[in-house]
């Protein structure tokens, strides 16, 4: 269904029975495509969104001359549930909105994305799935869930399963939002701004590395001071979001695990072993919550995977689409390389 | 002045003019001593406390057969201002208590500790200053401020100056506490429990390493689950503290810099170069907010210092006095070694 008022399309997925046992009623998967599907339907790239990111925020690395060139590829960017564009606490119909929005897993997300790809476009093979952060987690999910369909994966700064430490980091993020009385269990009339700002400050220490601050990279980015960076980058990006949407995506993140489904029943090695796709797995060397060690342990259990860390002091943001030119170029080169093979 | 109701003594320091320009009125420095001062007064160890720690929490590594053996040494444990035992927001006299407690630097702390050592005990030489975390920061401060008096220092998991990243980590901690309306700008009637619990969850991800959680060390410690560890260790230790006291110590921590005084006027290299003491500087290999790199940069500017990282997955807690036997033993060996020379 085309939606002329906005820059994306909607796949009306109906009522989704979720892995959590809950139901996502009238699920709407928002997506944007770039380029054209060729006659053989063999030029497909799926590029899922990251935590708090919308399809527009993936566009910085799509373009002529880049790996994700719309002249060559048909690039589908599906918005993750909870990201305020696809079905989310903030846009769902009452009474299953806001704090009552159901718990949606990445298995649910990718299963629905698979329906979009097959039912709407009749696609049988995907040349590449790639994404950053939770987008990388969806990338792993695609590779494990649909091994005969996905030919290549490049997960960037994300793991196939959320580690315990990553889970704990997110406990702190959640606690910061919900410490604000204005959150009111999700039934706020006005946004819980104190909580969202607190979340921004908590996040600021995690998302980039110690060296990023030591070398004052935020000054190079044009922020006149550390405090300006904390306010204008970190607080601003959180207060512009909906608290329940953020909490919904955090649930999804905390529970990410490609083995947590009927196919693999929690056997993580089996779920990794099921990935047939050629893979380049790209952690950020200084990523504090998706550290390289998590990917190292995963890659050795994947039949056709290479570990290729991004040597950067940008921490988790190293792999963010277009966040910094050097690291983005390093990722782009890997995408070009794998697509050429 | 002896205080018979408690296990420590009080040095009544009078009104202290602080580096911040404020005054700490009727300052009370609480301290405990172990062992006896010998006739030559050359068996003195100063062992300052850590963030949130009291003198009692240093006692786990003091004892017969250990480096800090009260049969040999006269060990003075001064409580840091703000720690709820020495002058703190929670125990100061109105109106300069609670949210109005002045900003106290580590320079102020160590200057007052120096008065205790000289005025009360007539001590001219200190064989060793050692401490963990903010105790390590006080250790550096001692070495730089009184180079002719301090013969040896062993700072454990702390830096001579709080790094920008460490500052940002603490911004998140502060924001979590103060996001709770119950905090009320420091004028709470009941403790801001939501904020303190949030602080505990934020802290939990930072204080130990990714590998600590990967290897589920909390199970070895007797916590039946990750959630139990978060609640029984991290939330519990924060809700038992006073929010204003924690915020006071955070100010002290964020502003720690051995060069920020009239002697060195912000010249950090000069302040490090002033340290004559023989030094073993002991970062935790996996410490996330006092990373080894900060100490590496410091040690090369210290005339007589060796870097000796604690190879441990306990993160910042590696060096905590008595937190785990292997790392505590490693630190104890270094203390014995330096005291023997």
Please indicate whether residue B87 is annotated as part of the active site: no
Please tell me whether residue A132 adopts helix, strand or coil conformation. Answer: strand
Judge: A226–B293 Cβ closer than 8 Å, yes or no.
no
pTM for this one?
0.96
What values do phi and psi take at A336, rounded to 5? -60, -45
DSSP string, A158-224: --SB--HHHHHHHHHHHHHHHTSGGGGGGT-SS--HHHHHHHHHHHHHHHS-HHHHHTTHHHHTT-S
Which of B15, B35, B10 has the alpha carbon at shortest distance from B26? B15
Best of B173, B177, B202 to mutate (most A CBs within 10 Å, chain A): B202
Residue with tokens 């260790």: B233
Chain B contacts of A201, Cβ < 8 Å?
A: 168, 171-172, 174-175
Give the mean model confidence (pLDDT) for residues B205-231.
98
- The token duo for A336 is 């070009």
Cβ of B2: how many Cβ atoms within 10 Å? Answer: 8
DSSP secondary structure code for residue B230 in this structure: I
Judge: A230–B171 Cβ closer than 8 Å, yes or no.
yes
- Among candidate residues B287, B294, B327, B332, the one labeled active-site is B287
**Candidates B165, B179, B213; nearest CB to A214:** B165
- 40-99 of B, contacting A, C-beta below 8 A: none
Residues B226/A164, Cβ–Cβ less than 8 Å: yes
Complex ipTM over 0.90: yes
* Helix, strand, coil content of chain A in percent (nearest 5): 40, 15, 40
Higher pLDDT: B3 or B200? It is B200
Q: Rounded to the nearest 10 degrees, what angle do helices A164-178 and A193-207 cross at? A: 150
Judge: A165–B209 Cβ closer than 8 Å, yes or no.
yes
A to B CB pairs, distance under 8 Å: 134
Judge: A164–B195 Cβ closer than 8 Å, yes or no.
no
Residue B5's pLDDT is 73
Residues B312/B284, Cβ–Cβ less than 8 Å: yes
Residue A1's pLDDT is 46
Residues A319/A327, Cβ–Cβ less than 8 Å: yes
Which of A103, A253, A98, A252 has the alpha carbon at shortest distance from A183? A98
pLDDT band at B274, cuts 50/70/90? very high
CA dihedral A156, A159, A164, A165 (to 10 degrees): -20
- Cite the active site residues of A: 133, 287, 316
CA A107/CA A124 separation, integer angstroms = 19
Judge: B288–A288 Cβ closer than 8 Å, yes or no.
yes
Best of A169, A200, A202, A215 to mutate (most B CBs within 10 Å, chain B): A202
Best of B185, B188, B198 to mutate (most A CBs within 10 Å, chain A): B198
Judge: B230–A168 Cβ closer than 8 Å, yes or no.
yes
Q: Residue B2 pairs with which residues in a beta bridge?
A: B9
Judge: A180–B175 Cβ closer than 8 Å, yes or no.
no
Chain segment B22-76, per-residue pLDDT in tens: 999 999 999 999 999 999 999 999 999 999 999 999 999 999 999 999 999 999 9
Is any Cβ of chain B less than 8 angstroms from the Cβ of A201?
Answer: yes
Residue A178's pLDDT is 97
Chain B contacts of A284, Cβ < 8 Å?
A: none
Report in angstroms the alpha-carbon separations of A224 from A219, A228, A285.
6, 6, 27
CA A229/CA A223 separation, integer angstroms = 6
CA B8/CA B15 separation, integer angstroms = 21
Judge: B210–A171 Cβ closer than 8 Å, yes or no.
no
| Runs of H (alpha helix) within chain A | 106-115, 134-145, 164-178, 193-207, 210-214, 217-220, 226-228, 236-239, 243-254, 268-273, 292-299, 325-339
The count of C-alpha atoms lying within 13 angstroms of the C-alpha of B279, restricted to the half-sphere facing its C-beta, is 37
Chain A contacts of B209, Cβ < 8 Å?
A: 165
* Shortest CA distance from B197: residue in chain A: A175
Which of A104, A86, A89 has the alpha carbon at shortest distance from A30? A86
DSSP count for chain B of H helices, then E strands: 12, 8
Which of A81, A64, A86 has the alpha carbon at shortest distance from A73? A64
CA B304/CA B282 separation, integer angstroms = 14
**Vertex A93, ends A91 and A96: CA angle to 5°?**
100
Residue A207's pLDDT is 98
- The token duo for A227 is 């405090």
Judge: B172–A167 Cβ closer than 8 Å, yes or no.
no
CA A13/CA A15 separation, integer angstroms = 7
- The token duo for B145 is 């401020």
What values do phi and psi take at B269, rounded to 5? -60, -40
Strand pairing of B23-34 and B74-78?
antiparallel
CA dihedral B27, B31, B36, B37 (to 10 degrees): -40
Q: What is the CA radius of gyration of chain B?
A: 19
Residue B6's pLDDT is 87
Chain segment B127-175, per-residue pLDDT in tens: 999 999 999 999 999 999 999 999 999 999 999 999 999 999 999 999 9
* Shortest CA distance from A211: residue in chain B: B165
What values do phi and psi take at B108, rounded to 5? -60, -45
Residue B1's pLDDT is 46
Please tell me whether residue B285 adopts helix, strand or coil conformation. Answer: coil
* Shortest CA distance from A290: residue in chain B: B210
**CB contact set of A219 (below 8 Å; sequence gap of 6+):** none
Please tell me whether residue B299 adopts helix, strand or coil conformation. Answer: helix
- 294-333 of B, contacting A, C-beta below 8 A: 294
Strand pairing of A74-78 and A23-34?
antiparallel
CA B257/CA B251 separation, integer angstroms = 12
3-state helix/strand/coil string of B110-159: HHHHHHHHHHHCCCCCECEEEEECHHHHHHHHHHHHCCCCECEEEEECCC
Which of A239, A319, A208 has the alpha carbon at shortest distance from B169? A208
Please indicate whether residue B248 is annotated as part of the active site: no
Judge: B180–A181 Cβ closer than 8 Å, yes or no.
yes
**Candidates A171, A182, A291; nearest CB to B201:** A171
pLDDT by residue for chain A (341 residues), tens digit each? 444 578 999 999 999 999 999 999 999 999 999 999 999 999 999 999 999 999 999 999 999 999 999 999 999 999 999 999 999 999 999 999 999 999 999 999 999 999 999 999 999 999 999 999 999 999 999 999 999 999 999 999 999 999 999 999 999 999 999 999 999 999 999 999 999 999 999 999 999 999 999 999 999 999 999 999 999 999 999 999 999 999 999 999 999 999 999 999 999 999 999 999 999 999 999 999 999 999 999 999 999 999 999 999 999 999 999 899 999 999 999 999 999 98
- Among candidate residues B34, B55, B114, B316, the one labeled active-site is B316
Q: Is the pLDDT of residue B2 over 80?
A: no
Best of A174, A179, A193, A235 to mutate (most B CBs within 10 Å, chain B): A179
pLDDT band at B322, cuts 50/70/90? confident
CA A177/CA A197 separation, integer angstroms = 8
Question: Cis (ω within 30 of 0) for the bond into B95?
Answer: yes
**Candidates B179, B214, B289; nearest CB to A179:** B179
Chain A contacts of B203, Cβ < 8 Å?
A: 172
- The token duo for B316 is 């910042």
Residue B110's pLDDT is 98
Residue B4's pLDDT is 56
Is any Cβ of chain B less than 8 angstroms from the Cβ of A34?
Answer: no
Long-range contacts of A240-244 (CB under 8 A, 24+ apart): A241/A52, A241/A84, A241/A196, A242/A84, A242/A88, A242/A89, A242/A90, A242/A191, A243/A177, A243/A183, A243/A186, A243/A188, A243/A191, A243/A192, A243/A195, A243/A196, A244/A88, A244/A89, A244/A90, A244/A98, A244/A99, A244/A101, A244/A186
Chain segment B279-293, per-residue pLDDT in tens: 999 999 999 999 999
Is any Cβ of chain A less than 8 angstroms from the Cβ of B202?
Answer: yes
Residue A341's pLDDT is 87
- 127-186 of A, contacting B, C-beta below 8 A: 163-165, 167-169, 171-172, 174-176, 178-182
Judge: A212–B181 Cβ closer than 8 Å, yes or no.
no
Residue A4's pLDDT is 55
Best of B180, B181, B205, B285 to mutate (most A CBs within 10 Å, chain A): B205
Please tell me whether residue A111 adopts helix, strand or coil conformation. Answer: helix
Chain segment B176-196, per-residue pLDDT in tens: 999 999 999 999 999 999 999
- The token duo for B33 is 């001593």
- Among candidate residues B133, B144, B159, B328, the one labeled active-site is B133
């Amino acid at each position: 269904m085309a939606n002329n008022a906005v820059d994306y399309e909607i796949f009306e997925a109906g009522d989704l029975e979720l892995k959590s046992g809950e139901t996502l009623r009238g699920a709407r998967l928002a997506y944007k495509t770039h380029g054209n599907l060729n006659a053989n339907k063999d030029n497909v790239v799926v590029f899922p969104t990251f935590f708090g990111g919308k399809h527009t925020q993936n566009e910085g690395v799509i373009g002529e001359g880049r790996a994700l060139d719309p002249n060559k590829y048909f690039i589908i960017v599906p918005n993750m549930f909870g990201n305020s564009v696809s079905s989310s606490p903030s846009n769902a119909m009452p009474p299953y909105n806001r704090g009552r929005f159901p718990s949606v897993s990445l298995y649910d997300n990718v299963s629905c994305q698979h329906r979009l790809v097959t039912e709407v476009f009749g696609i049988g093979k995907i040349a590449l799935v790639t994404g950053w952060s939770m987008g990388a987690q969806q990338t792993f999910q695609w590779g494990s869930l649909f091994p005969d369909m996905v030919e290549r994966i490049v997960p960037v700064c994300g793991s196939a399963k959320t580690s315990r430490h990553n889970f704990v980091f997110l406990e702190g993020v959640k606690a910061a939002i919900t410490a604000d009385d204005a959150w009111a269990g999700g039934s706020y009339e006005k946004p819980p701004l104190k909580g969202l700002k607190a979340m921004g400050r908590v996040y600021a220490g995690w998302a980039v590395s110690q060296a990023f601050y030591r070398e004052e990279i935020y000054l190079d980015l044009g922020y006149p001071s550390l405090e300006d960076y904390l306010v204008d980058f970190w607080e601003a990006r959180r207060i512009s979001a909906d608290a329940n949407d953020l909490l919904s995506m955090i649930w999804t993140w905390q529970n990410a695990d490609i083995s947590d489904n009927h196919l693999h029943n929690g056997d993580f090695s089996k779920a990794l072993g099921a990935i047939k796709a050629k893979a380049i797995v790209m952690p950020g060397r200084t990523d504090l919550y998706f550290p390289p060690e998590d990917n190292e342990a995963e890659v050795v259990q994947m039949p056709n995977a290479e570990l290729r860390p991004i040597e950067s002091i940008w921490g988790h943001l190293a792999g963010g689409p277009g966040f910094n030119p050097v690291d983005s170029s390093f990722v782009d080169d890997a995408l070009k390389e794998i697509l050429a093979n």
